[in-house]
Amino acid sequence: MLLSTFAIACGGGEESIPSDDQDTGMEVSGDETAIDAGEAGDETSTEAGDETSTEAGDETSTEAGDETAIDAADAADETSTDAPDGDAPPADGEAGALPTLSIDDVVVTEGNTGTSEATFTVSLSSASTNPVTVAWATSDGTAVAGADYVSGAGTLTFAAGTTSQTVKVTINGDALDENDETFKVTLSSPTEATIAKAEGTGTITDDDAQPTLSIDDVSVSEGNSGTATAKFTVTLSAASGLPVTVAFASADGTATTAGSDYVAASGTLTFPAGTTTQTIDVTVNGDVLNETNETFALNLSSPTNATLSKGVGTGTITNDDTAPTLSIDDVNVTEGNSGTKTATFTVTLSSASGATTTASYATSDGTATAGSDYVAIPTGTLTFAAGETIKSVVVTLNGDTTAEADETFNVTLSSPTNATLAKATGVGTIGNDDGAVIPSLSINDVTVTEGNSGTKTATFTVTLSSAATGTVTVAYATSDGTATAGPTAADYVANTGTLTFAPGETSKTIAVTVNGDTLYEASETFSVTLSAPTGATLGTSKGTGTITNDDTAPTISISDVTSTEGAAGIKAFTFTITLSAAAGLPVTVNFASADGTATAAGSASSGGTDYTSASGTLTFAAGATAQAVSVLVNGDTLNEADETFVVNLSAPVNATIADGQGTGTITNDDPLPSIVINNVGRGEGNSGTSAFVFAVTLSAPSGRAVTVNYATADNGATAGTDYTAASGTITFAPGTTTQSITVLVSGDTTIEPNEQFLVNLSGAVSATIADPQGIGLIFNDDGAPTLSINDVTVTEGNGGTTTATFTVTLSASMPGTVTVNYATSNGTAIAGSDYTAATGTLTFAPGTTSQTVTVTVTGDTLDENNEFFWVNLSGATGGATIADAQGWCQINDDDASPALSIGDVTITEGNSGTTVATATVTLSSVSGRTVFVNYSTGANTAVPTGVLATGGQDYVTTSGTLTFAPGETTKTVTVTINGDTLNEANETFFVNLSGAANATIADNQAVVTINNDDAVPSLSINDVSQVEGSAGIWTTTNFTFTVTLSAASGRTVTVNWATANGTAGAPGDFVFASGTLTFAPGATTQTLTVQVRQDGLNESNETFSVNLSAATNATISDGTGQGTIVNDD
């Protein structure tokens, strides 16, 4: 494994240095050294703040916050070197006066989750020559430690010469709406200073929106007596840190307080801080009155510390009283010999209702016949107002003197509302009061089970009401109802004939053959009807044959589906729903998808991105046995376990469910993510331990939990002495991509080579390991001075050269000579064109700590990306090592982007086919970057494709993007032009430029002119000859002339016309006329009319003319039309 990137931390900051091989990242951090001039010899003292201060002579002060960060994108290496005079006056300008300490106030927004930091700055009024310390500690204000912020305490140390330090307090984010809160950071126990402002106030600004209030809807059964409670729940969308109040009041809907449906309620709800629900009870009064469900409202208003999202709750009082029943009585009335009588039927409601009750009624024949025996009522409606229980139906009866049997008719109730039918038919009996009785014939109804095959017999009995003294005959015939007769696949066999009753006989039978089948269907009916009786009358003339279905309903099953999800888009999972056998009835079944481990958008589960829920109803027409349901599954690139959802069947009609659940299995087709670990390097320290934190990273989020084992291993460094061995397992929760491993490295003061240990990864679950080994590089920070080189940024300029000056620094002066080699190397900048290569050796004389390397940078006028090159150090001698071996120079481009322009185009259209108009797009200068620009056509006077016009379309619309590779300066846009033969004005359209990248647009529009190349059409007028008429001069005959264009034009054509005398003269023979004709584009004929006077004078034929003149957009080929007035006298 190559060690390719490491980082050095100085004074709390980390420096990331990429090498030529940038495959792996290594982080390095080190303690800083503080050396006081007052200490003997070259002694080294390491302070708690990792700060460096060297006093006396040529002194260097590197203060906390002077950080060095080197990477391929930034240039930092900030170095602050102070060389104070040893005789500088005391702080505050007064001998012996102590500086003062102050802490500022801080305002920070809390955030909704996680943590943020409130950074307090503690300042010394002036630098001190002695270290200054001060204790600090947090304390609650309205903010509470642990909940709102993390309490802390400690001591700040100001090294000699420093004037500020910071205290960082962690602020806990929340989503709780509350007032702004405060806490304190208090300074105490200063040394070498006094306190001017001891207390800093931290204000935590609340950034959470007020919660919203909503009230639910409630349904409650009223009960038959006493009261019930409608309990409404009022909910806050989120807990609040403030008390929330809201007023409430009930309001009538269809339920009323005056009607004693409920008891009015009003008041105010209070939500203490932290609570999210409260309830409101409304008393509902019970009754035994059948009525519709009733509603009232509970309104919220006047919220404090919240807003209303749903401010009205609807209370529904559900009626639980059964509907009353309707009954009609039977009536007997003697018919009488003449006139009419009435039969009055009483319809009764079993109990009073709170709702209006209605029922339809109609008469129907029994043995009595409407029209002769009674007056039919085809239909009528009874209406019971709320509280009414009795209504009447009156039927008129006709008297007669015919000897006959007593006869009956029916009054039938139907279609009740707000009631049910207990006795739906009232029988009216018309008592005969006239002599002897003629027997009547009746036929019964028959029910027979069809069977699965073969035939069965339905036997109908025809009965005489009494024996006759003579022969009685009656005809009969079958007829279809829902059952059908026929030669094939029929339900029964048709039958007709005549029955003969000998004197004294009273019954006969009719046999009808019924065919068996295995088709599940509704029971079916047919009829046997009696007709043409002799010696008797017809009573019940129709018998109904019912063929009872004995076949079981088919069963419904749904298939399972398994398929891969895909990486993007959607895929249909098609489930097949099957009937076990065809049915004779329509079969329906509901279906609905439901989550398994896969989730649909909008489901309660997290995610909700695997498929789109589906539901509906399937209908199998009679005879059909299969249907399909498609569920759309969303593709993704997330490695995850196979997931499932289900499609459930329910509520079948005319079938049962055998397998009611189809499982959709979404098979994962995404590769496992890979795991890598970085390298870490930093100074070991002189005591205690330092944490080496290794970042373990997944190449992509996973939908599964990923685990990997880790264990340290020696690689020059020894566990137990140089570092503490560590091993274990790290777990990536689904969706997370980073975890860390911490290894503790032991500090020492031993001068030794840099050492390494390894962190090895193994045993990955649900992932692969791309980089199994992280290197921990323990930098020795004891002994030899180090060499480092800074980074530089220069602007290239448009010509000539610029100098990039790098500073190479020795961390401490040496008694002997130190040398180091340097050499430039290409990054994105190239030696010879962008800069001049340089190599050499720097020599540090005894006591010298810095040298410079200069590199010449070449200016140009090419717009390009910023470029960089390196200066590399190597081959250090004289006991020094190289800490930072590479300086980075960024050459900033200062050249303006080139400008784009597009040229106008003129093209002749042609008479047919197409031609191409080519517009040239030009860059104002060569660019070093790829330039993009969009283009599209835009309409003007020319007609584009897709637009209906008389003359057709002139050009084909187009759009796209042009790409200029570095160095290219021209591109073309081609547009297809349609030829035509229509004379028209020259036409134009536009080619527009937009959306340029890496360039500006100087001219964004080309005008394309389509030149007309078609000749103007010519005009001609016809001659007209007709008889004049003889009715007299006050009557005229119209002579109509036609003016014709030789071809349609794309322009408006006009021509003047006027009559002129010939042998006929105006006004005696005709009426003078003139005007202008206008041909709209596309039109080719117009007419004009001249009035000729009629007369009774015998004369020669006469002529006049119509002359054309002053044509626009046309020529005149025949400009004179002759009118001949034919004499008819």
- Would 894 be classed as within a structural domain? no
Sheet containing 561-564: give its strands across: 561-564, 661-667, 643-653, 587-595, 615-620
Question: Please, are residues 257 and 214 in contact by the beta-carbon 8 Å criterion?
Answer: no
- Band (pLDDT 50/70/90 cuts) for residue 14 is very low
Instruction: Please report the pLDDT score of residue 825 as a whole number.
Output: 97
Pairwise CA distance, residues 673 & 540, whole Å: 86
Is the same domain home to 274 and 366?
no
What string of DSSP letters covers 204-239? EE--PPPPEEEE--EEEE--SSSEEEEEEEEEESS-
Is the same domain home to 422 and 472?
no
Q: Which of 833, 834, 835, 853 is nearest to 843 (CA)?
A: 853
Which of 43-47, 441-445, 714-718, 1071-1075 is the least confident region? 43-47
Is the same domain home to 928 and 980?
yes
Question: Please, are residues 162 and 127 in contact by the beta-carbon 8 Å criterion?
Answer: yes
DSSP 8-state code for residue 73: S
**Residue 11 predicted with pLDDT over 60:** no
Where is the domain boundary, 376, 403, 431?
A: 431
Residue 968, Cβ density class (10 Å: 0-12 exposed, 13-18 middle, ≥19 buried): middle
Where is the domain boundary, 548, 580, 601?
A: 548
- Would 626 be classed as within a structural domain? yes
What phi, psi does 91 have (nearest 5°)?
A: -60, 155
Instruction: Please report the pLDDT score of residue 70 as a whole number.
Output: 27
Instruction: Please report the pLDDT score of residue 13 as a whole number.
Output: 37
**Residue 841 predicted with pLDDT over 50:** yes
Instruction: Please report the pLDDT score of residue 729 as a whole number.
Output: 97
CA 759-764-769 angle, to 5 degrees, is 65
- Peptide bond just before 1081 cis, omega within 30 deg: no
- Would 1050 be classed as within a structural domain? yes
Residue 973, Cβ density class (10 Å: 0-12 exposed, 13-18 middle, ≥19 buried): buried
Instruction: Please report the pLDDT score of residue 521 as a whole number.
Output: 84
Instruction: Please report the pLDDT score of residue 471 as a whole number.
Output: 93
Instruction: Please report the pLDDT score of residue 759 as a whole number.
Output: 97
Is the same domain home to 112 and 78?
no
Which structure tokens are listed for 959?
């759009």
**Residue 275 predicted with pLDDT over 80:** yes
Is the same domain home to 954 and 995?
yes
SS3 93: helix
- Band (pLDDT 50/70/90 cuts) for residue 605 is very low
Is the same domain home to 648 and 561?
yes
Instruction: Please report the pLDDT score of residue 949 as a whole number.
Output: 65
Which of 269-278, 517-526, 694-703, 1055-1064 is the least confident region? 517-526
Dihedral over Cα of 143, 146, 147, 150: its sign: positive
Tens of pLDDT, residue by residue over 674-693, are 999 999 998 888 899 999 99
Tens of pLDDT, residue by residue over 227-264, are 999 999 999 998 888 999 999 999 999 888 866 889 99
Once rounded to an integer, what is the mean pLDDT over residues 555-560?
96
Where is the domain boundary, 406, 431, 456?
A: 431
Instruction: Please report the pLDDT score of residue 131 as a whole number.
Output: 93
Tens of pLDDT, residue by residue over 852-908, are 999 999 998 888 889 999 999 999 998 889 999 999 999 998 888 899 999 999 999
DSSP 8-state code for residue 101: E
- Would 55 be classed as within a structural domain? yes
Is the same domain home to 216 and 200?
no
Instruction: Please report the pLDDT score of residue 779 as a whole number.
Output: 85
Instruction: Please report the pLDDT score of residue 96 as a whole number.
Output: 56
**Residue 34 predicted with pLDDT over 50:** no
Tens of pLDDT, residue by residue over 1077-1095, are 999 988 999 999 999 999 8
Q: Which of 887, 884, 888 is nearest to 779 (CA)?
A: 884
What phi, psi does 270 have (nearest 5°)?
A: -125, 125
Instruction: Please report the pLDDT score of residue 93 as a whole number.
Output: 37
- Band (pLDDT 50/70/90 cuts) for residue 941 is confident
Sheet containing 656-659: give its strands across: 626-634, 570-579, 555-558, 656-659
Share of the chain above pLDDT 90, in %: 66
- Band (pLDDT 50/70/90 cuts) for residue 488 is low
Dihedral over Cα of 250, 252, 255, 260: its sign: positive
Which structure tokens are listed for 870?
């390196």
* Average pLDDT of the residues of the chain: 87
Pairwise CA distance, residues 761 & 730, whole Å: 10
DSSP 8-state code for residue 1028: -
* Segment (H or E) for 588: strand 587-595
- Would 703 be classed as within a structural domain? yes
List strand residue ranges (DSSP E) for 465-548, in order.
472-480, 496-501, 507-515, 524-534, 537-538, 542-548
Instruction: Please report the pLDDT score of residue 604 as a whole number.
Output: 41
SS3 92: helix
Start-to-end CA span in the chain (Å): 125
Share of the chain above pLDDT 70, in %: 89
What string of DSSP letters covers 14-66? EEEEE-S--SS-EE------BB-TTSSTT--B--TT--EEB-SSS--EE-TT-
Is the same domain home to 344 and 396?
yes
- Would 115 be classed as within a structural domain? yes
Residue 423, Cβ density class (10 Å: 0-12 exposed, 13-18 middle, ≥19 buried): middle
Instruction: Please report the pLDDT score of residue 306 as a whole number.
Output: 93
Is the same domain home to 161 and 230?
no
Q: Which of 213, 219, 251 is nearest to 234 (CA)?
A: 213
Q: Which residue is associated with the tokens 């000749």?
A: 1015
Pick 76 or 867 by higher pLDDT: 867
Tens of pLDDT, residue by residue over 134-182, are 999 999 999 999 989 999 999 999 999 999 999 999 999 888 888 999 9
Dihedral over Cα of 16, 20, 26, 28: its sign: negative
- Would 91 be classed as within a structural domain? no
Q: How many structural domains comprise the chain?
A: 10
Q: Which residue is associated with the tokens 């529904």?
A: 316
Question: Please, are residues 580 and 586 in contact by the beta-carbon 8 Å criterion?
Answer: no
- Band (pLDDT 50/70/90 cuts) for residue 124 is very high
Is the same domain home to 307 and 351?
no
Q: Which residues lie across from 169 on neighbouring strands? A: 118
Tens of pLDDT, residue by residue over 764-823, are 999 999 999 999 999 877 677 899 999 999 998 998 999 999 999 998 877 689 999 999
- Band (pLDDT 50/70/90 cuts) for residue 585 is confident
- Would 893 be classed as within a structural domain? no
CATH number assigned to the domain comprising residue 464: 2.60.40.2030
> In which domain, by residue range, is 622 found?
555-667
Tens of pLDDT, residue by residue over 732-772, are 999 899 999 999 999 886 656 688 999 999 999 999 999 99
Is the same domain home to 505 and 570?
no
Tens of pLDDT, residue by residue over 516-535, are 888 888 889 999 999 999 99
Instruction: Please report the pLDDT score of residue 751 as a whole number.
Output: 54
C-alpha distances in Å from residue 1035, one per residue of 4, 396, 1059, 1068, 1103: 114, 77, 19, 12, 18
Is the same domain home to 851 and 809?
yes
Instruction: Please report the pLDDT score of residue 211 as a whole number.
Output: 93
CA-derived radius of gyration, the chain: 53
Instruction: Please report the pLDDT score of residue 432 as a whole number.
Output: 81
